[in-house]
Amino acid sequence: MPDRTRDPTSRHRHLPSAREDHERAQRAIDSPQTRSPSYRLAYADLDFLLREELRPVRLQLELLKPELVLQEHQVETTIVVFGSSRIPSPEEARSRLDEAQRLVAEDPDDPRAQRALARARALVRRSRWYEEARRFAALVSRAGQADGPRRFVITTGGGPGIMEAANRGAHEAGAKSVGLNITLPHEQFPNPYITPELCFQFHYFAIRKMHFLMRARGVVFFPGGYGTLDELFETLTPGPDRQDAAATHRAVRRSPLASGDRLRGAGGGGNDRSGGCAAVPLCGKRRGGLGPHLRLLRPRSQSSPAVGCRGRQLSRKRRRSLNHRTPALTRHHPPGS
């Protein structure tokens, strides 16, 4: 990140910057007074910043740091991709299947080996969604980052599975992508395809959710579990248009994503009954909306993607036409499914 602590245009340019004062304080003479925590500069005192009373300051810092970095990289709009972290690449799924078949061949009567084989076969079938996410991200990235400000930048939660596939598709297309990682009780590491300078880590879930949607022009939900559904309803809830929101929620209740049976198979094990993929465009007032590029979100079927606009009133005739022709959520069918 560039050093912006000393702005030559500032009216305080004759005063030392915060960085310069911090470096000067580190060269202070050693004494009981200078070793005391109370002598540290407040903004350089980690113990002070981590106090419970400083939570509002930390919330502000988590909101501001990614915002400034994204501005510096000219990230204007994003497309957010959610989905299961347990869906592997086809290569990894095939490798797991080979290992499971080997164990069954060694001991055909072992029930654990049989269960592992069933899970491995389900993962192979489910891995097609990894390729779909990868292909989708490449299409969007080529369209949005050809020149000028970066539009429709792929953004994920930074983890494995579908998130890795989306970041990988953007990376292979020669484009940048964003990863918004979160600190969890079990360690989560960023996948290797996120653009390093756009890889962030959050402590506060609420601030992370804000950054997912602040620049979003569309959100795509691939098969997943309860975490994916949580993000789905967090996205749908703030819509200001009551009629559009009601139509969207009716479509969600009819969607395969809302089926408990399909949820049980959307993770890493269980029956292979995972549902389809939902695309929810978010059309804002700001310049550079998603409208002309809706075809990028269209599945390879005859259906159109979801249309849930925010910040724009549709005419009654147009809304009736959209409700008649397209549900708010449309299944995404990969070839051969």
Complete domains list, the chain, with CATH: 65-86+129-325 (3.40.50.450), 90-126 (no CATH)
| Straight-line distance from the first to the last Cα atom of the chain, in angstroms, rounded to the nearest whole number | 45
Q: Which residue has the tokens 């979160």?
A: 182
Is residue 193 within 8 A of residue 171, CB to CB? The reply is yes
For position 238, what pLDDT does the model report? 67
Q: Which ranges constitute the DSSP H helices of the chain?
A: 18-26, 32-35, 46-49, 55-72, 90-106, 111-126, 128-144, 162-172, 205-214, 226-236, 242-254, 260-264, 316-325
Counts of helices then strands in the chain (DSSP H, E): 13, 6
For position 137, what pLDDT does the model report? 95
Does the structure show a pLDDT above 60 at 4?
no
Mean pLDDT of 89-98: 94
For position 271, what pLDDT does the model report? 42
Is residue 35 within 8 A of residue 26, CB to CB? The reply is no
The model's confidence at residue 53, banded by pLDDT at 50, 70 and 90, is very high
CA 322 to chain centre: 28
Does the structure show a pLDDT above 60 at 69?
yes
**201-227 pLDDT, tens digit each:** 999 999 999 999 999 988 999 988 888
0.75 exceeded by the pTM?
no
The model's confidence at residue 308, banded by pLDDT at 50, 70 and 90, is very low
**163-174 pLDDT, tens digit each:** 999 999 999 999
